[in-house]
Chain A
Amino acid sequence: MKPAAPGLICFLLLCGCALLIAACTAYAAPAAGPTVRLHDLRPLPPTPPAKVVPLRVAVAAVISPRGNVESYTPLLDYLGRELNRPVEMVQRRTYMEVNDLLRDGEVDVAFVCTSAYIAGRRDFGMQLLAAPQVAGATVYYSNLIVPADSPARSMADLRGKVFAFTDPMSLSGRVYPTSLVHTLGAEPETFFSRIFFTYSHDNAVRAVADGLADGAGVDSLVYDFAVARDPSLTSKVKVIHRSPPFGIPPVVVGPDIRPQLRAQLYDLLIGLQDDPAGPAILATLGFDRFVPINDAAYETAQQVTSDTVIR
């Protein structure tokens, strides 16, 4: 190239420079926003000891954890307000875990299932505090439900089908359906083609409604509450069998609770209906009110539990 072509050389150089700039221009990071050094790892601060020991309330997974939070939060807020101390809600997957928390004093008070109470009373002296009253009674049933279009009319018709249990320890969700299978002279593992645990009653209703299971035994309180909240469920599931009445799932305390706290809690629960906020809290839970209760209410349940040996 002759040196007398500065214009052309400049043009080519310009093109080359533009190309290089295009290639090297990094995407401009947004200026705003915090700066964090990801490799500057430090130990997490230990959980500071609570200045005030909260009241710890366990709620058994009769319904799903989410449902429990929605249902029990107003009640727990009420308790905290009245006791003037924070309340912590504790949930576990299984009834057994909740029983263990009560036994070890990890929680002060618990809403447990009937069979869990029976087991807890037997194992470590779990004590009744009160019981909810629903529709004027302190009983509930085990409903045997099937999909609305199912031809099954009794447990016998569910042979070879898929069955959903709730919790391994649940009276309405496992013990009573198992006793029904036993009366047919079979064991659930062989009677049904497949069984699975949903760990809560509302999930069992949903499993049947969605056709995941061909049948399930559910807590009548949960079932009625679910139907009341979502009436379209009646077009998806139907009840083909109802158990004899069992004592309603109670409010219990551990064996080591301070008597003063126990009395305070008792008074608060029994007097809830008279509190201005009470009716709304009870309505959220689907209860009429809390009533005193004694062990006699759980005799039928005790009977079924001891008759049904779950292998």
Chain B
Amino acid sequence: MVSAVSLRVKILGMVLGLVLLLGTGVTLQVRATLTRTLLAQLQEESVSLGRDLAARATDPLLINDLYNIHQLLRETRANNPDVRYAFVLDRDGRVVAHTFGGGFPAGLVNANAVAADAHHHTLAIATEEGVVWDTAVPIFEGKAGTARVGLSEARMHGAIASVTRQLLLTTAIVSLIGIATAIFLTWLLTRPVRQLVAATEAVRRGDFSPRVGRWADDELGELADAFNTMTTDLARADAERLEREQMRAFYLRQIISAQEEERKRIARELHDETGQALASVMVGLRNVEESPSVEELHTRLVDLRGVASATLENVRRLALELRPSVLDDLGLAAALRRYAADYTARFRIPVETQIIGLDDCRLAPEVETALYRIIQEALTNIAKYANATQVSVLLERRDGQLMAIVEDNGCGFDVEQVLRAGAREDRLGLYGMRERAELIGGTLTIESQMGCGTTVYVRMSESANQRVSESANERMSESASERIGEWANGRMASERSPCLLVYLSTCLLVYLFPNPP
């Protein structure tokens, strides 16, 4: 498993392996070349010494000057360290003089021979001291005898061993340098990596503060930059997430309290208005009971009916405010018109409602509810705080965009201050409107100036609207498939091609390019 090996071991292994491989290769190559060259040199030297000895021994041998020959052999050996032995044979193959003291090795005379008319004859003789290259040279074309000289390989092997030792030593030293370099390199390379690992650990623990230093302008430097950018982004995202969570917790509390508020309001409404009305009906019924005459009874019943009718109207209004069924039944446009009419009737503020592009289609139920509630909240706020005399509501659907604008000519307010105050006083209002808008993928903007009225904008794109509703997506893809199928069939029919291949290709093309040219 490669992953089980640390970076240090890998680099160390690479460096050591390369050095050892190179050392081995060079050593082998140098040994082979050196052996070849030195061996050739030794053989050449053997021949040249033999020839020299034969030439110089001719005259002394012819005049039987043994001392001179002996001297010649001794000099030959003394002046050439490679020479292991030298000797001279007479015409009859008897040893005349030699460099061995007190005896002559058995079998050496017959180990090598040369023809009288040959230049020389060299062969390798195996001895207990190693290989000796023996050269035989005829003296005076064999008429005087034969000169023999033997050159030992010992010095050659010594030289090769010395060179090999040097090379091995060099390899060892270079290996040590390589190890040191590898350790240094590893430290240099892993320093940023270690930092990155430490920083990543910190990030995993949720600490986004560590920043990684950029050591060099290389890939690791880029990684450090990318890491730093990532931690910065993570920190920001984390902060946003925290803020959003707090907001949601706050909204949850607000929703719960709003629910309680709503219940209190309904209870108050029921008690104050419906209860009062029913109490009036009770009083009316007693009055009817105690009516002195039929006429009086009839009059009182008519009054009682008026009271019951008013009570009924109150209850209906209450129900409408809680959940307008018209929204479910007739859609957003109709629900808004109804609410605007009720609003005008209730608060005596004229509302100009303009709805474009929504009359004959329905939006996703969540979108309709959200937009309805946002506009309802805006109108309620206007009635409560704005002192407006004119309100206009615009709902427009155009080019895949939905836009709702609620505008008044009231007193206006400081948006930022109200938003902050709202958050502090645990009150649902503008926040709720904005939250609803964001839930359906839209944005809510409030423009207001003191004394110059207020405008609330809600914008959302149709695609966001689509994302909200899965069923809508399904319908879209189904319709697309039907469209492709129709188109493919059309082509089949028009070209009247019975070929299956063309059909399949066409199908493929159609699926690849769903919009036909």
Chain B: minimal CB distance from A47 (Å): 6
Chain B: minimal CB distance from A261 (Å): 23
Please pick, from B16, B64, B131, the residue contacting A29 in the complex, using a CB distance under 8 A: B131
CA distance A26 to B158 in the complex (A): 11
CA distance A26 to B5 in the complex (A): 38
CA distance A73 to B62 in the complex (A): 13
Please pick, from B24, B58, B94, the residue contacting A19 in the complex, using a CB distance under 8 A: B24
The answer to whether A68 touches B5 (Cβ under 8 A) is: no
The answer to whether B4 touches A4 (Cβ under 8 A) is: yes
The answer to whether B20 touches A29 (Cβ under 8 A) is: no
Q: Does B127 contact A (CB under 8 A)?
A: yes
Q: Does B455 contact A (CB under 8 A)?
A: no
Q: How many residues of A contact B (CB 8 A)?
A: 44
Q: Given the interface contacts A36-B127, A41-B104, does A65 sit within 8 Å of B58 by beta carbon?
A: yes
Q: Does A236 contact B (CB under 8 A)?
A: no
A5, A23, A36, A93, most chain B CB atoms within 10 A: A36
The answer to whether B62 touches A41 (Cβ under 8 A) is: no
Chain B: minimal CB distance from A16 (Å): 6
Contact with B along A81-116 (1 / 0, CB 8 A): 000000000111100000000000000000000000
The answer to whether B143 touches A69 (Cβ under 8 A) is: yes
On chain A, the residues within 8 Å of B62 by CB distance are 65-66, 68-69, 91
The answer to whether A39 touches B164 (Cβ under 8 A) is: no
On chain B, the residues within 8 Å of A8 by CB distance are 5, 9-10, 13
The answer to whether A40 touches B64 (Cβ under 8 A) is: no
Please pick, from B104, B123, B125, B160, the residue contacting A42 in the complex, using a CB distance under 8 A: B104
Q: Does B422 contact A (CB under 8 A)?
A: no
Q: Which of B105-113, B393-401, B443-451 contacts A (4 or more CB under 8 A)?
A: B105-113
The answer to whether A15 touches B24 (Cβ under 8 A) is: yes
Q: Given the interface contacts A19-B20, A22-B28, does A90 sit within 8 Å of B64 by beta carbon?
A: yes
Q: Does A61 contact B (CB under 8 A)?
A: yes
The answer to whether A15 touches B84 (Cβ under 8 A) is: no
Chain A: minimal CB distance from B141 (Å): 9
On chain A, the residues within 8 Å of B21 by CB distance are 15, 18
CA distance A93 to B61 in the complex (A): 11
Chain A: minimal CB distance from B86 (Å): 13
The answer to whether A36 touches B64 (Cβ under 8 A) is: no
Please pick, from B1, B20, B27, B64, the residue contacting A4 in the complex, using a CB distance under 8 A: B1
- Among B237-277, those with CB < 8 Å from A are none
Q: Of all chain B residues, which has the CB nearest A89?
A: B62
Contact with A along B33-44 (1 / 0, CB 8 A): 001000100000
CA distance A249 to B9 in the complex (A): 96
CA distance A44 to B63 in the complex (A): 22
- Among A31-45, those with CB < 8 Å from B are 32-44
CA distance A2 to B4 in the complex (A): 8
On chain A, the residues within 8 Å of B140 by CB distance are 66, 69
CA distance A39 to B103 in the complex (A): 9
The answer to whether A34 touches B107 (Cβ under 8 A) is: yes
Q: Does A303 contact B (CB under 8 A)?
A: no
- Among B100-124, those with CB < 8 Å from A are 100, 102-108, 111-112, 123-124
On chain B, the residues within 8 Å of A43 by CB distance are 103-104
Size range of the chain B interface in the assembly? 35 or more
- Among B258-307, those with CB < 8 Å from A are none
Q: Of all chain A residues, which has the CB nearest B107?
A: A36
CA distance A64 to B61 in the complex (A): 12
- Among B166-185, those with CB < 8 Å from A are 168, 171
Chain B: minimal CB distance from A197 (Å): 14
Q: Does A309 contact B (CB under 8 A)?
A: no
Contact with B along A44-84 (1 / 0, CB 8 A): 10010000000000000100111011000100000000000
Chain A: minimal CB distance from B92 (Å): 9
The answer to whether B103 touches A19 (Cβ under 8 A) is: no
CA distance A29 to B39 in the complex (A): 11
On chain A, the residues within 8 Å of B4 by CB distance are 2, 4-5
Q: Given the interface contacts A37-B105, A42-B105, A66-B59, does A19 sit within 8 Å of B5 by beta carbon?
A: no
Q: Of all chain B residues, which has the CB nearest A47?
A: B94
CA distance A18 to B13 in the complex (A): 16
CA distance A16 to B493 in the complex (A): 79
Q: Does A1 contact B (CB under 8 A)?
A: yes
On chain B, the residues within 8 Å of A12 by CB distance are 13, 16-17, 20
Q: Given the interface contacts A2-B4, A5-B9, does A33 sit within 8 Å of B103 by beta carbon?
A: no
Chain B: minimal CB distance from A148 (Å): 27
Chain B: minimal CB distance from A51 (Å): 13
Q: Given the interface contacts A12-B16, A69-B140, does A34 sit within 8 Å of B103 by beta carbon?
A: no
Q: Does A25 contact B (CB under 8 A)?
A: yes
Chain A: minimal CB distance from B212 (Å): 27
- Among B1-57, those with CB < 8 Å from A are 1-2, 4-6, 9-10, 13, 16-17, 20-21, 23-24, 27-28, 31, 35, 39
On chain A, the residues within 8 Å of B35 by CB distance are 27
CA distance A64 to B58 in the complex (A): 11
On chain B, the residues within 8 Å of A42 by CB distance are 103-106
Q: Of all chain B residues, which has the CB nearest A61?
A: B63
The answer to whether A22 touches B27 (Cβ under 8 A) is: yes
CA distance A311 to B234 in the complex (A): 124
Q: Does B468 contact A (CB under 8 A)?
A: no
Please pick, from A30, A41, A64, A68, the residue contacting B100 in the complex, using a CB distance under 8 A: A41
Chain B: minimal CB distance from A90 (Å): 7
The answer to whether B16 touches A36 (Cβ under 8 A) is: no
The answer to whether B104 touches A29 (Cβ under 8 A) is: no
- Among B115-154, those with CB < 8 Å from A are 123-132, 140, 143-144, 153
Q: Of all chain B residues, which has the CB nearest A65?
A: B62
On chain A, the residues within 8 Å of B107 by CB distance are 34, 36-37
Contact with A along B62-81 (1 / 0, CB 8 A): 11110000000000000000
On chain B, the residues within 8 Å of A29 by CB distance are 124, 126, 130-131, 153
Q: Of all chain A residues, which has the CB nearest B2?
A: A7
Q: Of all chain B residues, which has the CB nearest A4?
A: B4
CA distance A15 to B16 in the complex (A): 9
On chain A, the residues within 8 Å of B124 by CB distance are 29-30, 32-33
The answer to whether A34 touches B129 (Cβ under 8 A) is: no
Please pick, from B24, B84, B105, B143, the residue contacting A41 in the complex, using a CB distance under 8 A: B105
Enumerate the 7 nearest inter-chain pairs by beta-carbon distance, A residue then B residue, closest first. A41-B103, A65-B62, A15-B20, A4-B4, A34-B111, A35-B126, A18-B24
What are 11 contact pairs spanning A and B, CB under 8 A? A2-B4, A15-B17, A22-B24, A23-B164, A30-B131, A34-B107, A35-B125, A35-B126, A39-B105, A69-B140, A69-B144
Known: A22-B31, A29-B124, A91-B63. 7 other contacts (CB 8 A): A15-B17, A19-B20, A27-B39, A27-B157, A33-B123, A34-B112, A38-B108
